[in-house]
Amino acid sequence: MNIEQARFNMIEQQIRPWNVLDDEVLHLLSVVKREDFVPLAHKALAFVDMEIPLGYGQCMLAPRLEARLLQDAEVRKHEKVLEIGAGSGYMAALLAHQAQRVISLEIDPDLVRMARANLQKAGVHNAEVRQFDGAVGAAAEAPFDLIVLSGSVAEVPQSLLAQLKVGGRLLAIVGEEPVMRVTRVTRKGEAEFKTDKLWDTVAPALQNFPVPSHFHF
């Protein structure tokens, strides 16, 4: 397989047609080596439009979904970012190239080791992977400029929104199959939040986030 041709095809045939047009994001996808974050057994699938199994019941999101999330996150160089769901560390690497600092929470110890090793190998030094329940967030490190959930949740907990700076954003895939929407919540004031529903997609659920009851008397 010609890796660079496969990377080029991924960007031009999958990602750009999916309304990912930000030049900085497209450049990042060409320089951050996605194949280095894919388990050895699935290396041949690194540039395919699909979720890639990581083991431990987790997966990497499809490239076009990660790219569009990154574009909509609108990361700035001075920002402190919290990612929930490190997986293999790929999204943390992309965020770290745009932010000042990234803290990525991962509940599975094997994935924590994988993500740390991948980030170190890629020379990413401003992203830290911690073994922690991401549904709780990282209140001791708050407030954050940006919180990114790398997976879906039925609803966004208020406890996470409370960890945003005023002016900060939270980006998440919210809902339950078959209807999920990428949602950006911006903190406008101490108790004021603005919610924008951006586009529809489907993604695997993050662990331990509350699921609202659909049972009614």
pLDDT at 215: 57
Running along the chain, 217 residues long, what does each successive block of 10 average in pLDDT?
A: 93 97 97 96 95 90 97 98 97 98 97 98 98 95 98 94 98 94 97 96 92 65
Domain ranges of the chain: 3-201
Fold of 3-201: Rossmann fold (3.40.50)
DSSP string, the chain: --HHHHHHHIIIIIIGGGT---HHHHHHHHHS-GGGGS-GGGGGGTTSSS-EEEETTEEEPPHHHHHHHHHHHT--TT-EEEEE--TTSHHHHHHHHHSSEEEEEES-HHHHHHHHHHHHHTT--SEEEEES-TTT--GGG--EEEEEEEEEESS--HHHHTTEEEEEEEEEEEEETTEEEEEEEEE-SSS-EEEEEEEEE--PBPTT---------
Q: Output the pLDDT for position 55.
A: 84
User: Which tens digit of pLDDT belongs to each residue from 103-148?
Assistant: 999 999 999 999 999 999 999 999 999 999 999 999 999 999 999 9
The pLDDT of residue 216: 55
Per-residue pLDDT at 214: 62
